[in-house]
Chains A and B, each alone.
Chain A
Amino acid sequence: MCLRHSMLAKFKLTLAILVDIILEFYLKREKIMLQNKANPTINKSTGLPRKRFYRARAHSNPLSDSHFPVPLSPNHVEYSLHYPQLFPLADRTDTCKKIGFADIGCGFGGLLISLSILFPETLMIGMELRDKVTEYVKERILGLRVANPGQYQNVSVVRTNSMKYIPNYFEKGQLLKMFFLFPDPHFKEKNHRRRVISPHLLDEYAYVLQVGGIIYTITDVEELGEWMKSCLQNHPMFEPLSVAELEADPVVKLLSTATEEGQKVARNGGQTFQAVYRRITPAS
Chain B
Amino acid sequence: MEGAEMEEARVEDREHDHNNTQEDAQIEESEQKNKDAEVAPALVSVHPTQNSVAVAVGSDLRVFNLLDNCAVNLVDESGGASHNDSIRCIKYGTNGKLFVSAGDDKLFKVWSTDCWRCISTVVSEKRLSAVAISNDGLHVCFADKFGVVWVVDLAGFDGSEASLDKKAAPLLSHYCSIITSLEFSLDGRFIVSADRDSKIRVTVFPSKPLDGAHEIQSFCLGHTEFVSCLAFISSPDSPQGILVSGGGDSTVRLWDIISGSLLDTCEVGAKVGQVESDATEGNCSIITGICTILDCTLIAVAIQSLRGIMLLACNLPSRTLSVTKLVSIIGENFVPTSLGSSISGGLLWMVTGASKFRGPDISPCSRVKGISGFNKNSPDSSEQEPVVLADTELPGGVKLLEKLQGSMLIDEKVFLVAADAVKTAMCNLLNKKQYSDEKREFRKRTRNDKKKKQ
Contact = CB atoms under 8 A, between A and B. Distances in A.
Given A235-B214, A236-B214, A237-B215, A167 B175 contact: no
B172 A200 contact: yes
A139 interface: no
A164 B170 contact: no
Contact of A163 (B176, B201, B435): B176
A122 B215 CA distance: 27
Interface stretch (A31-39, A203-211, A213-221, A253-261): A203-211
Interface in B172-195: 172-173, 175-177
A172 B170 contact: no
Contacts of B81: none
Interface string A201-245: 111101100000000000000000000000000011100000000
B222 interface: yes
Interface string A58-80: 00001101010000111000000
B199 interface: yes
A206 to B, nearest CB: 7
A65 B199 CA distance: 15
A237 B214 contact: yes
B69 interface: no
Nearest to B173: A200
A110 B139 CA distance: 48
B216 interface: yes
Interface in B135-184: 148, 170, 172-173, 175-177
A167 B1 CA distance: 69
A99 to B, nearest CB: 16
A65 B214 contact: no
A159 to B, nearest CB: 15
Given A167-B219, A200-B148, A282 B224 contact: no
B445 interface: no
Given A163-B176, A200-B173, A203-B172, A73 B221 contact: yes
Contacts of B435: 67
Given A65-B433, A72-B222, A164 B176 contact: yes
Given A65-B433, A164-B175, A207 B216 contact: yes
Interface in A129-177: 163-165, 167-168, 172
B328 interface: no
A4 interface: no
A27 B170 CA distance: 68
A65 B434 CA distance: 9
B432 interface: yes
B375 interface: no
Given A72-B222, A167-B221, A203 B216 contact: yes
B215 to A, nearest CB: 6
A172 B217 CA distance: 8
B68 interface: no
A206 B432 contact: no
A199 interface: yes
A65 B224 CA distance: 15
Nearest to A164: B175
Contacts of B215: 203, 206, 237, 282
Interface residues on B, range: 20 to 34
B329 to A, nearest CB: 35
Interface string B189-222: 0000000010101010001000111111011011
Contacts of A73: 221-222
B449 interface: yes
A200 B197 CA distance: 17
A5 interface: no
Nearest to B215: A282
B25 to A, nearest CB: 22
A63 B175 CA distance: 9
A52 interface: no
Interface in B3-21: none
A267 interface: no
A28 interface: no
A210 to B, nearest CB: 14
A62 B175 CA distance: 10
B219 A200 contact: no
B221 A200 contact: no
B175 A163 contact: yes
Contacts of B448: 57
Given A65-B432, A73-B222, A206 B176 contact: no
Contacts of B434: 67
B221 A168 contact: yes
Contacts of B211: 236
Given A57-B449, A163-B176, A164-B176, A72 B221 contact: yes
Nearest to A76: B221
Contact of A172 (B176, B214, B218, B433): B218
A72 B201 CA distance: 14
16 contacts: A57-B449, A65-B433, A67-B434, A72-B222, A73-B222, A163-B175, A164-B175, A164-B177, A164-B197, A168-B199, A200-B172, A203-B173, A206-B214, A236-B211, A236-B214, A284-B207
- Give 7 closest A-B pairs by Cβ, nearest first: A200-B173, A73-B221, A207-B216, A167-B219, A163-B175, A203-B214, A65-B432
Interface of A: 56-57, 62-63, 65, 67, 72-74, 163-165, 167-168, 172, 199-204, 206-207, 235-237, 282, 284
Given A167-B219, A168-B221, 5 more contacts: A57-B449, A163-B176, A167-B201, A172-B219, A236-B214
